[in-house]
Amino acid sequence: MNDSILLLAQNAKITNWFTPFWLLSCGAACGLILVLLFLGKVYILSRIKGINSIAENRFIYVLLSLLTSAGLAALGILYLGATYRWESMKEASSVNPAESGTMLAVVLMVGLALILGFGFWRLISSRRVDEVFSLVGEGFLGWFMILLTSLAGFAVIGMFLGMFNGFGLINFVEDPRGILRSVSRLPVSGNYMQELTLEPVSADSPGQLIELKSVSGNTPAIYGDEFQVLGVTTNQELHVGFEKLSIDLPRDRYFAIRPTADNTPVLLPVSQLNPPREAGEMYFANRGSNPAQVQMVFSLTPKYPEASLVVWSGLFAFLVVVTYLSLSVLAPKISAISLSTFKTEVSQPIFMVAFALTVVFIMFSIWLPYNTLGEDIKMYKDSGLTMIRVVGIFVAIWAASKSVAEEIEGRTALTVLSKPVGRRQFILGKISGISLAMGILFILLGIWFFLWVAYKPIYDSRESALASVEWPTCFVEATHIVPALLLAYMEVVIFVTISVAISTRMGILANLMICFAIYVLGHLTPLIVMSNELGGAFATVAFFGNFVSIVFPVLNHFDVQTAINTNSPVPWIYLGWAFVYTILYGTVAILLSLVFFEDRDLA
């Protein structure tokens, strides 16, 4: 294998392969920096008298928590409002907030803001600050922080090698400085609209220098490699360019625009004019006989729009840490049981074996011939996601049985409940601990899968003797699996709650059999319901179909095989509703487990 992935050589395939992973690592580094800054803030505030005792005064604590939550929610809503206006302008029509998912996003954002607002003032309490810092180094956060640190180290190494062109040996990232500059340019990306009134000028006039502005009147800094498209609507003939529109200016250095009809804009490929690095101004010359009413819309896109992954992955890492700490101080007893459960489950041999088998499967599946006539990557992504989901469900069921059923049979649960811990806290702690163990399993396997999906297009192009692919293609393929991984994890969480409910009354064998039946029926629910709609359906079949659709979860909501096969991105609104469905069905399963466990004789 000439292009061995282990060969230390300056190979374009290696750069194209690792650049998407480097972007993810940069996001982890940003998240780690935000976490460290947050922890430093918590430490400083916890040493200030008066502030560190706010949580002890119930009235002041609730008041400040509500104000903090309102501030966080307001910031999120302002961001959503800006996004909503951008989408309305982009589509040139009014976007219904309900249909765009804005209302759902607001509800979820308010819920998260309440958790963070009430948790923050508990975090800085002098009584809990030592406990907070101990949580960072153990349990779920201990694993997560090690992972963030490792990824941040790779980001630094990739940046260092990229600055010196890999010292002639190996280079993991292409143009790291340009990518990081694109991160800083993300806030100004989007569509801008401006209206002008231009007086007629003579044929030898250089035109009028116009400063490009947004609707609100601000002037974004515009770089030539970010200026993508300019749409112009006019009622007079115009000449447009980045240089003075003199008579001797070559024809390929400016655009000649005739009057447009029906307000249909003329789209100008600005890149053809080779715009200067600073492209915030353009020359407009009205060559007609009457004043020109001009409306222009221009689009700014960073040179590397893929850099948005740095922002989103960094924000995700930060919110995971802060949300975990907030919930831990808001429910300390549940957190203690959850921490103990997490440590127990991740140290089990079945956890390590399942993780190792999945890692090997994902890596060696790259070389399997799928015989799909150039569509092997779709089969690879589908098989990898299925493997991760099935392994996660199996480990979750096994963990629930070992952690709940065996503790009840072995009288360990009785010992735990003899302390100031209620049965509800015991069940909630077990569910959260197992869910966190599955969460770290999905994060580790997801990052490993992300890396190899990014390599798959390179491998397929070499095997098919096609032109080599660039790293943006690898990036698109790799990021398409992220929503599918989130949905698969939601499905696993549902099985965690169901399995815990079953474990309060039954052993591991019965648990596995019942969950297997639920898995099969859950994925067949849409077909069963459709059979009821056919004419002449038997009453028994109709009753069974309605029963299954009501009692069993509709697991097809978490399967995006169609989106993978059609290379269609999964909308974030779909993830939001799937999350709501997970919360609702999981709550029902938790209530059922509490009912089963409430009168269970533990002696």
Residue 377 shares a structural domain with residue 275: no
Distance CA 342, CA 318 (A): 21
Supply the pLDDT for residue 435: 93
pLDDT for residue 387 is more than 80:
yes
Supply the pLDDT for residue 422: 79
Identify the domain boundary among 300, 321, 345: 300
Does residue 323 lie within any of the structural domains? no
Identify the domain boundary among 284, 300, 316: 300
Global pTM value: 0.86
Residue 296 shares a structural domain with residue 336: no
Query: What is the tally of structural domains in the chain?
Result: 2
pLDDT for residue 250 is more than 70:
yes
More confident residue, 274 or 440: 440
CA pseudo-torsion sign 127, 131, 136, 139: negative
Q: Give the percent of the chain with pLDDT over 70.
A: 85
Supply the pLDDT for residue 202: 83
CATH assignment at residue 209 = 2.60.120
Q: With bands split at pLDDT 50, 70 and 90, how would you rate the model's confidence at 2?
A: very low
Does residue 10 lie within any of the structural domains? no
pLDDT for residue 377 is more than 60:
yes
Supply the pLDDT for residue 143: 94
Residue 290 shares a structural domain with residue 345: no
Supply the pLDDT for residue 465: 62
pLDDT in tens, 30-60: 999 999 999 999 999 988 888 888 888 888 9
Supply the pLDDT for residue 93: 41
Q: What is the mean pLDDT of residues 387-400?
A: 92
pLDDT in tens, 477-509: 899 899 999 999 999 999 999 999 888 888 888
Residue 336 shares a structural domain with residue 294: no
Q: With bands split at pLDDT 50, 70 and 90, how would you rate the model's confidence at 300?
A: confident
Residue 340 shares a structural domain with residue 274: no
Residue 402 shares a structural domain with residue 512: yes
Does residue 35 lie within any of the structural domains? no
Q: What is the mean pLDDT of residues 177-184?
A: 86
Residue 393 shares a structural domain with residue 294: no
Q: With bands split at pLDDT 50, 70 and 90, how would you rate the model's confidence at 530?
A: low
CA-to-CA separations, 186 to 27, 138, 287, 301, in angstroms, rounded: 14, 35, 36, 8
Distance CA 390, CA 140 (A): 22
Residue 341 shares a structural domain with residue 276: no
Supply the pLDDT for residue 80: 67
Q: What are phi and psi of 199, to 5 degrees?
A: -80, 155
Does residue 287 lie within any of the structural domains? yes
Residue 362 shares a structural domain with residue 259: no
The owner of tokens 């992972």 is 147
Residue 417 shares a structural domain with residue 564: yes
Mean pLDDT of all residues belonging to the chain: 82
The string of DSSP letters for 402-447 reads IIIIHHHHTTHHHHHHTSS--HHHHHHHHHHHHHHHHHHHHHHHHH
Torsion of CA 399, 404, 410, 416, to 10 degrees: 120
Could you tell me which of 124, 488, 128, 119 has the C-alpha nearest to residue 324? 119
488's tokens: 């698969």
Q: With bands split at pLDDT 50, 70 and 90, how would you rate the model's confidence at 86?
A: very low
Residue 427 shares a structural domain with residue 290: no
Tell me the residue range of the domain where 250 lies: 190-300
The string of DSSP letters for 562-582 reads HHHHTTPPPPHHHHHHHHHHH
At 230 the three-state DSSP class reads strand
Does residue 173 lie within any of the structural domains? no
Does residue 70 lie within any of the structural domains? no
Residue 347 shares a structural domain with residue 480: yes
Q: Which residues contact 194 (CB under 8 A, 6 or more apart)?
A: 212, 213, 214, 215, 295, 296, 297, 298
Residue 469: CA count within 13 A, CB half-sphere: 21
Q: What is the mean pLDDT of residues 8-28?
A: 82
Q: With bands split at pLDDT 50, 70 and 90, how would you rate the model's confidence at 471?
A: confident
Does residue 341 lie within any of the structural domains? yes
Identify the domain boundary among 281, 300, 319: 300
Q: With bands split at pLDDT 50, 70 and 90, how would you rate the model's confidence at 97?
A: very low
Find the farthest-apart pair of alpha carbons in the chain and give their distance in angstroms, rounded. 100
Q: What are phi and psi of 386, to 5 degrees?
A: -65, -40
Supply the pLDDT for residue 95: 44
Does residue 295 lie within any of the structural domains? yes
**DSSP structure class, residue 277:** S
Could you tell me which of 157, 162, 156, 155 has the C-alpha nearest to residue 176? 162
Supply the pLDDT for residue 594: 86
